[in-house]
A and B are shown apart, each in its own frame.
Chain A
Amino acid sequence: MSVKTAANPGTRTERAPGPNPSMKRRKPSLGQRIWRERWSYTFIVPGALFFLVFAYVPMLGNVVAFQQYSPFRGIEGSPWVGFANFNAIWADPEVLTALRNTLIIAVLQLVLAFPAPIALALLLNSLISDRIKRMVQTVVYLPYFLSWVIVISVWQQVLGGGGLVAGLLDGFGVSGFDAMSNADTFKLLVVAQGIWKDCGWGTIIFFAAIAGIPNDRYEAAAIDGATPWQRTWHITLPALVPVATLLLILNIGSILTVGFEQLLLQQPMVGADAAQVIDTFVYFRGVLGGQWGIATAAGLLKGVIGTILVLSANRVAKRLGGEGIF
C-alpha cells in the first residue's frame, strides 16, 4: 500500500505541468503555490485534524499491547513488558476458541454469503418486468438499513423460543423449537442473518457492473444461437469478475472481523464457546475484564494479520491477471 500510494502523487505532479507549457518556464515556488491556495487549507485543516485525532492518534494507543497497562497509571506510568502479552495470548485457551470460531464463521461466510448477492443480482436481472424488478429491489435492500439490534430482535421473535415458528411447530406437536439459542447451529444462523441483512444491498454493485455490459454482446450471442443460460454464463458472469475480485480482496482482509455487534448481542443466548470471536474477546477481556494489555495485543495482532492478508490477496489477484485495489 505505502509503496504504491507514495508513487501515485509523484506521477500526478509530473504529469500536471504537461498541458500548460507556460508553467514550465516560470514554475511558481512551493511557497507561492501554498499562498495562492491558502483558502483551500481553511477547508482541509479541520477535517484533516479530525482524522489525525480520531483515526491516527488511537493507533499510537496500541503501544499498550507491550505494557502491563493499568488505567490508573496511564501509558506513561505502566511498566513495559515486551512481548509478554503476545506470549500470553498463545497460552490462553479462550483465544484459541475465539480464533477457531472466527475462522469457521469467516469460511462459511465466504462460501455461502459471498456468492449470494451475485446469484440474486443474476436472478433479478433475468426478470423481464421492470416494475417487479424494482419492487423486489425495494424489499431486499431494506434490511441493510436496520441495526443489528433490530435484526436480532426480529429474528428472536420469529425463530426464537416462544416465537412465530415455535408456535407453528407447537401446533404440529413439535415443542421447544428455538433456533436462536442452539449452540450447534449457531454459526450457520450467523451466516443466515448476514445474508438476510446484507445480500440485497450487496447486489447494487453487481447491478452497476451488469448495466455496463453493452447490449449488442447479448444480441450477437443470441443471433449466434446462445441460450439465455449460455448468455448469462459467457457474457454476464465474466463481466462481474472484476467487481467480485475486488470485493473478495476486501473480504479476505476483514476475514478476522466477523459481525462484531451481531455476535456480541447473541453471545448471552448461546454461550461463549459458540459465539466468542476475536473482537468480542477483546471487548470482554479488555474493557470489561480489565486485562488491557492482553486484549489490545489480540486486537493489534488481528489488525496486522488483516493487513497482511489484504496485501497478499491483492498481489495474488494481480498475478492472476486481474485488477487489484492498490
Chain B
Amino acid sequence: MATAAALPIRRKQGTAPWMKPPSVWVRGIKALVIALIVITMIYPLVYVIAMSFAAPSQARAGVIFPTEFSLDAYRAIFNGGTVTQGLTNSLFITVVGTILSLAATSMLAWGLARTRQVPGAKAVLVLILATMFFSAGIIPNFMLIKYLGLLDSTWSLIIPGLISAFNMIVIRNFFQGLPEELIEAARIDGAGEWRIFLQIVLPLSKPVLAVMGLFYAVGYWNTYFNALLYINDSEKWPIQVVLQQYVLAGVQIPGAMVSPDAPPPPGITLQMAVIVLATVPILVVYPFLQRYFTSGVLTGAIKG
C-alpha cells in the first residue's frame, strides 16, 4: 500500500517511465508473430462461417472467401429436421443441466463452506477433491448408467456431470469470502438457514454463479462422448453427435433439400452450416464469459 502511494505511476500498464520503447525491428517482428497467431486462430472459423453462406457455384469451385451468398444450406438443413432435433436436444440438456448443476453445486458449496465448524465436512471435501485426480474409467461408468436404467435417456447426459468438483471449489471460495456479519445478523433476526442461503448468499454471489453457469452451459452444449456411449436412439442425439455423423463420418443429411424439385445445396455448404449451427451458441455466450476471465474469480480459485 505504501509503495503504491509513493509511486503514483500507472502500474502494470507496461509503460513505466523507466522503460524504453523497443526498437522498430523488435516491434515489427512481434507484430508479425501476433498477427500470424491471430489469423491462425480466427481465420478457420471465419472461413467456415463464410462458406456456409456461399452460393453453390462458389462452394463447388472452392474459394478463399466467397463473394456471392445464399441461405440455401440453412433452408435445406431446417427442412431436413435431423439437425433441428439435435439442436433442440442440446438446448434442453444445456438449459436443464445448467440450472440443476448450479443448484446442486451451490448447495454443496454452502454446506462445505464452514468445514471447521461442521464435523465430517472436511473429510467429505477431501473425498470430493480426490475425484479430480482419479476417475473410474469408461466401462465402470457405462455399467453404472446401465444399472441405473439411464441408457438411451437424455438424463444420462445431465445427471452424471451434475456437480464438477472444480466448480464447487470455486463457488465455495467465493462463499467463504462473503461478509460473515451479514449472515450472522440475518441469523439473529431469525432467518432460517434455507432463507439465508436463498435470499442472502445466492443474490450476493451472482458474479461467481454467472461464470460457473456459463462454464456448465458450455460443457453441456459440447457433450459428445457420453452421448455416443449412452444414447443409441438417433432422435435423442445432441448436436455434437449429429455434427460428427454428418460432417466427419460423411453421412448424408436426410431430407436436406430446399424444395423437392431443386437440386440440393452442395455437401460442403451443408457441412459448414451444421458446424456453424453447433458453434453459434458458444460464440453468443463467449463475450459474456470473456468479461470474467480477468476478474480474478477463476485465477483466485486456481491458486487456492
Contact = CB atoms under 8 A, between A and B. Distances in A.
Are A and B a genuine interacting pair, yes or no? yes
Interface of A: 1, 5, 8-9, 12, 16, 30, 33-34, 37, 39-44, 46-48, 50-51, 53-62, 64, 71, 120, 123, 126-130, 132, 136-143, 145-150, 152-158, 162, 164, 167-168, 170, 196, 200, 204-205, 207-208, 211, 215-216, 218-219, 222-223, 228, 253, 260-261, 264-265, 268-269, 279, 282-283, 286-287, 292, 295-296, 299-300, 302-303, 307, 310
B22 interface: yes
A149 B278 contact: yes
B5 to A, nearest CB: 13
Given A208-B296, A218-B16, A282-B138, 19 more contacts: A30-B119, A33-B117, A43-B110, A44-B108, A46-B108, A50-B163, A54-B160, A128-B21, A128-B22, A132-B34, A139-B38, A139-B41, A149-B244, A208-B303, A265-B248, A269-B248, A287-B139, A287-B229, A310-B133
A9 B229 CA distance: 39
Nearest to A10: B122
B240 interface: yes
A299 B135 CA distance: 10
Contact of A59 (B30, B107, B136, B282): B136
A140 B140 contact: no
Interface of B: 3, 11-16, 18-19, 21-22, 30, 33-34, 37-38, 40-42, 44-45, 47-48, 51, 62-64, 104-105, 107-108, 110-112, 114-124, 126-128, 130-131, 133-144, 146, 159-160, 162-163, 165, 168, 193, 197, 218, 221-222, 224-225, 229, 240-241, 243-244, 247-249, 268, 271-272, 275, 278-279, 282, 286, 289-290, 293, 296, 298-299, 302-303
Nearest to B218: A145
Nearest to B124: A48
A242 to B, nearest CB: 10
A58 B143 contact: yes
A57 B119 CA distance: 24
A262 to B, nearest CB: 11
Contacts of B241: 149
A37 B290 contact: no
Contacts of A265: 244, 248
Contact of B139 (A1, A56, A64): A64
B139 A149 contact: no
A140 B41 CA distance: 6
A32 B131 CA distance: 31
Q: At the interface, is chain B mostly helix, strand, loop or mixed?
A: helix
Given A44-B108, A147-B224, A130 B14 contact: yes
A103 B141 CA distance: 25
A282 to B, nearest CB: 5
B230 to A, nearest CB: 10
Contacts of A264: 225
B225 A154 contact: no
A57 B168 CA distance: 20
Contact of B141 (A58, A126, A207, A269): A58
6 contacts: A5-B130, A58-B140, A62-B137, A139-B41, A149-B241, A296-B137
Contacts of A34: 119-120
Contacts of A287: 138-139, 142, 229
Given A59-B140, A283-B138, A295-B139, A152 B248 contact: yes
Contacts of A16: 116
A150 B224 CA distance: 10
B34 A164 contact: no
A264 B296 CA distance: 35
Contacts of B124: 44, 48
Complex A-B, nearest 5 residue pairs according to Cβ-Cβ distance, in ascending order: A43-B111, A47-B108, A61-B140, A58-B136, A147-B222
Given A37-B117, A44-B121, A142 B286 contact: yes
A40 B114 contact: yes
A157 B286 contact: no
Nearest to B45: A154
A213 to B, nearest CB: 9
A149 B248 contact: yes
A268 B249 contact: yes
